[in-house]
Amino acid sequence: MDKLTITASKPLTGEVVISGAKNAALPILMAGVLAQTDFIVSNVPNLRDVNTSCELLRCLGADVEQLENSRVRISTTNLNEYCAPYDLVKTMRASILILGPLLARYGTADVSLPGGCAIGARPVNLHLHGLELMGAKIEVKEGYIKARVDGRLKGAHIFMDMVSVGATENLLMAASLAEGTTVIENAAREPEVTDLANCLIAMGAKISGVGTATLTIEGVERLSGCEYRVMPDRIETGSFLVAAAVTRGKIRCVSADPSALEAVLLKLEDAGATITTGEDWIELDMHGKRPKAVNIKTAPYPAFPTDMQAQFCVLNALAEGTGRVTETIFENRFMHVPEMSRMGANIELEGNTCIIHGIERLNGAQVMATDLRASASLVIAGLMADGITTVDRIYHLDRGYEHIEAKFQGLGAEVIRVK
Ligand SMILES: CC(=O)N[C@H]1[C@@H](OP(=O)(O)OP(=O)(O)OC[C@H]2O[C@@H](n3ccc(=O)[nH]c3=O)[C@H](O)[C@@H]2O)O[C@H](CO)[C@@H](O)[C@@H]1O
Ligand SMILES: C=C(OP(=O)(O)O)C(=O)O
């Protein structure tokens, strides 16, 4: 199994090109099921989860070509299966996003229940409840969600009890082909939801309120393919910016979107960084100084993203002062803490809050993580650790970071993949 070795680094410097966003690309690929003509998605990152999504679409009978230049072409002409099997769903939770599109277009969908994962239980009740309000008959049998509807789904008024990115995306896709108007209240406003909505609009969907907590969808009878470019990955961007901050460096992220990252950029400024932005780039300069500790509380967008929590734990572990990090989205998203402690970090965990007392440097160690952002945080920690850090089980990283070692190398770090 591949590993990454990380050597203590000089301040990171230079430019890094940001890839398309995993968390936007996956729902957009699933939306391919809704399109009656060829659909081309560009700026698709080359990631394990993208390959799994293409595999899932192929398993339904869709023709999927992964083209040069980060493009994927999807044709549903031969789609004739309506089941997302356990073997694929268990490797990628985003598979649940096939449920809404399959049901809306074909009236039938069997999707394996995803179950929990390292970061928490991750239930799907809001997805199912919304689809039931739209007229679907759903039963859970033998580990599968079996959803059926006679004719088309019907527009409905849906109030989400909690802000859920995945449920908002599933219901948005389903409502696009439903009969009548659907209103989704307390919808997630994450930029990836907005990117999906813009893609659906480009396919012919009628959606208003995009980017707000109330989405109104007037269902249409058919959606056609289009060519759609996935937004830049705000979490990849944030991860590189934190790496530059902890190494006291100066980097520029290009092909990025500063508008999607405001909460993170403000915290980096609080930590002492100078942030400069252009339309599609972000520059961070730490002026060779140690970051100052910052307090973080994760919450739905536009608040601080849970997907950046682990990276900011590392920032605080190396900062001047004490920072509190509170996780409110997932009940178990501190898998990086024991591993960081093994590297010498001074962290106390109290319920859903970490109290982190910064130290000057960590110690290299053999570490592993059981989720994606925890793994990324350990790579960043390794850059400011004396000796060598080895990060095991990097298949998690390969789910979400394209060419991670090459990108770090381009910024002057010694991050090497060992086969
Ligand atoms: C709001 C939020 O920050 N969502 C994050 C979540 O999206 P993802 O779509 O995976 O998860 P949700 O947004 O649906 O989950 C948000 C919260 O709602 C709960 N829930 C969700 C669905 C449901 O049917 N019932 C239910 O109770 C979840 O347990 C969780 O506590 O993980 C992704 C991967 O880390 C992140 O990119 C998203 O930013
Ligand atoms: C946990 C993540 O992804 P997933 O929902 O695919 O597990 C993530 O993107 O940080």
> Has residue 24 got a pLDDT over 80?
yes
Q: Two tokens at 358?
A: 């910064």
**Residue 117 annotated among the catalytic residues of the structure:** yes
- pLDDT for 115 beyond 80: no
* Secondary structure of residue 245 in the 3-state scheme: helix
Q: Whose CA is nearest to atom 35 of ligand 1?
A: 307
The string of pLDDT tens digits covering residues 347-402 is 999 999 999 999 999 999 999 988 999 999 999 999 999 999 999 999 899 999 99
Ligand 1 centroid to 192 CA: how many Å? 13
Per-residue confidence band for 315, with pLDDT thresholds at 50, 70 and 90:
very high
> Is the predicted pLDDT of residue 90 greater than 80, yes or no?
yes
Ligand number nearest CA of 188 is 1
Using pLDDT thresholds of 50, 70 and 90, give the confidence band for residue 118: confident
Nearest residue to 129 via CA among 121, 119, 116, 140 = 140
Ligand 2 contacts CB of residue 333 (under 6 A): no
Whether the CB of 250 sits within 6 Å of ligand 2: no
Please state, as a whole number, how many other Cβ atoms lie within 10 Å of the Cβ of residue 155. 20
**What mean pLDDT comes out for the span 232-252?**
98
- Mean of the per-residue pLDDT values for the chain? 97
**Distance from residue 117's CA to the centre of ligand 2 (Å):** 10
Give the integer Cα–Cα distance in Å for 281 and 291: 22
**ipTM surpasses 0.90:** yes
pTM here?
0.98
Instruction: Please choose from 119, 122, 161 the residue to mutate so as to test ligand 1's pocket, defined by most ligand atoms within 8 A of CB.
Output: 122
d(CA 39, CA 36): 8
Q: What percent of the chain clears pLDDT 70, i.e. is strictly above it? A: 100
Q: Whose CA is nearest to atom 10 of ligand 2?
A: 307
pLDDT in tens, 134-166: 999 999 999 999 999 999 999 999 999 999 999
Q: How far apart are CA 399 and CA 110, in angstroms?
A: 24
Question: Residue 369: CB within 6 Å of ligand 2?
Answer: no
Name the active-site residue from 117, 226, 253, 313: 117
Burial per residue of 93-117, b for 16 or more beta-carbon CB atoms within 10 angstroms, e otherwise = bbbbbbbbbbbbbbbebbbbbbeee
Closest ligand 2 atom, residue 371 Cα? 1
Best residue among 19, 47, 89, 93 to mutate for probing ligand 2's pocket (most ligand atoms within 8 Å of CB) is 93
Spacing, Cα 97 to ligand 2 middle (Å): 13
Q: Distance from the CA of 244 to the center of ligand 2, in angstroms? A: 23
What's the CA-to-centroid distance between 188 and ligand 1, angstroms? 9
Least confident of 254-258, 295-299, 336-340, 368-372: 368-372
Centre of ligand 1 from the C-alpha of residue 313, in Å: 20
Q: Which of 192, 237, 329, 371 to mutate to test the pocket of ligand 1 (most atoms within 8 A of CB)?
A: 329
pLDDT value, residue 116: 74
- For 176-199, write each residue's pLDDT tens digit: 999 999 999 999 999 999 999 999
Is the shortest distance between the CB of 45 and ligand 2 below 6 Å?
no
Mean pLDDT value across residues 295-304: 98
Instruction: Give the mean pLDDT of 97-102.
Output: 98
d(CA 39, CA 31): 9
For residue 332, which ligand has an atom nearest its CA?
1
pLDDT at 370: 83
Minimum CA distance residue for ligand 1 atom 33: 307
pLDDT in tens, 38-59: 999 999 999 999 999 999 999 9
User: Atom 26 of ligand 1 has which residue's CA nearest to it?
Assistant: 123
| Omega within 30 of 0 (cis) for the link into 302 | yes
Helix (H) or strand (E) holding 408: helix 404-410
- Quick one: pLDDT at residue 117? 82
pLDDT in tens, 101-112: 999 999 999 999
